[in-house]
Amino acid sequence: MFKKIFTVFTFLATVFLVACSNNNQTADGNSQWDAIQEAGLIKVATSGTLYPQSFHDKDNALTGYDVEIIKEIAKRLDLEVKFEEMNVDGMLAALESGQIDVAGYSIDKESSNADKFLFTSTHKYSHGSMIVRQSDNSGISKLEDLKGKKAAGASTTWYMKVAKKYGAELVIYDNVTNDVYLQDVANGRTDLIVNDYYLQKMAFTALPDIPVKILEGVYFNPSESNFAIKKGNTTLQEKMNEQLEAMREDGTLTKLSEEFFGGQDVSIDGDFSDLPVVDYSDVD
């Protein structure tokens, strides 16, 4: 009898603690949202160098697929946006500290950082690919050929983990523009760039004088892009997801995608499920 009573008590105590935890999380999420509403401002980190998702146009105005999505969400939520440009590591630190509310960067959901943040619903579907030299494919025809090659990229990205998995030497860049990356592959300072297929396609198309290309047929790891939100800010997550779904339904996401990705709609699932998946969970 005592054992049964103790078991029931333990169960009720657990339910109570979970309920309190959920209530506290909800209260915290509401509090953070209330602060955003009171200020009438949402603070967002973005790269400003990632064409065509976040870049400066010929008039030096910040724009891009991600940037314009955020602007539209803010407009629909009756908020102003303050963009802060920074690199990936800076975004994660700023998000965790509360300096910003949203990071315009898709954090790999399998990474050690994933459980530190919340995520919005997907606004872009793609997969991994690599940029190589036009003249000789940088001596690469398959992923296994990356061993000993110099792979350019930002630290902490899953793209660099894939390169490291196959034995590439990592050449770390800060928040530099696409032309710097591509020129360095062309001149031999580096050999390849592992990154998002659509971003790479738009980058080398926009810079046709740089003799690089996407290595055809070597595609892998279907991916989804979302915005990262400070942990606990559940109300903002819900509000943003509501607007993203509304923008999907009314065609706004498609319109923005086609504007920035040369007529392609990256907002819909391209069904890349047949592509190989590189397991990089054992890579630091």
Q: Distance (Å, rounded) from C-alpha 201 to C-alpha 282?
A: 29
Query: What percent of the chain stands above pLDDT 90?
Result: 70
Q: Which residue has the higher pLDDT, 273 or 14?
A: 273
Label residue 193 exposed, middle or buried (CB < 10 Å: 0-12, 13-18, 19+). buried
Instruction: Provide the pLDDT for residue 107.
Output: 66
Mean per-residue pLDDT for 37-66?
95
Q: Distance (Å, rounded) from C-alpha 79 to C-alpha 73?
A: 8
Label residue 62 exposed, middle or buried (CB < 10 Å: 0-12, 13-18, 19+). middle
Whether the Cβ atoms of residue 220 and residue 144 lie closer than 8 Å to each other = no
Residue 20 has pLDDT above 70, yes or no: no
Residue 207 has pLDDT above 80, yes or no: yes
First vs last C-alpha separation in the chain: 52
Q: Can you list the domains of the chain with their CATH numbers?
A: 9-123+226-260 (3.40.190.10), 125-223 (3.40.190.10)
Q: How far is residue 138 from each of residues 35, 111, 141, 183, measured CA to CA in Å?
A: 51, 29, 9, 13
Q: Which residue has the higher pLDDT, 158 or 139?
A: 139
93-123 tens-digit pLDDT: 899 899 999 998 766 665 666 778 899 999 9
Q: Distance (Å, rounded) from C-alpha 101 to C-alpha 5?
A: 46
Nearest to 261 by CA among 165, 218, 197: 197
Instruction: Provide the pLDDT for residue 109.
Output: 61
Q: Which residue has the higher pLDDT, 15 or 171?
A: 171
Strands 212-214 and 124-133: antiparallel
Residue 220 has pLDDT above 50, yes or no: yes
Instruction: Provide the pLDDT for residue 28.
Output: 59
Instruction: Provide the pLDDT for residue 88.
Output: 81
Residue 81 has pLDDT above 60, yes or no: yes
Contacts of 2 (CB under 8 A, 6+ apart): none
Mean per-residue pLDDT for 158-166?
95
Only one residue has tokens 């009720």, namely 12
Query: What percent of the chain stands above pLDDT 70?
Result: 87
Confidence category of residue 274, pLDDT binned at 50, 70, 90: very high
Confidence category of residue 284, pLDDT binned at 50, 70, 90: confident
b (16+ CB within 10 A) / e for 73-88: bbebbebebebbbbbb
**Residue 97 has which token pair?**
């500290």
Contacts of 141 (CB under 8 A, 6+ apart): 215, 218
Confidence category of residue 211, pLDDT binned at 50, 70, 90: very high
Mean per-residue pLDDT for 221-248?
94
**Residue 158 has which token pair?**
């899953």
Instruction: Provide the pLDDT for residue 226.
Output: 92
Angle at which helices 178-186 and 197-206 cross, to 10° = 80
This prediction has a pTM of 0.82
Confidence category of residue 17, pLDDT binned at 50, 70, 90: very low
Distance of CA 171 to the CA centre of its chain: 20
142-153 tens-digit pLDDT: 999 999 999 999
The C-alpha angle with vertex 222 and arms to 158 and 237, in degrees rounded to 5, equals 75
**Residue 8 has which token pair?**
């029931």
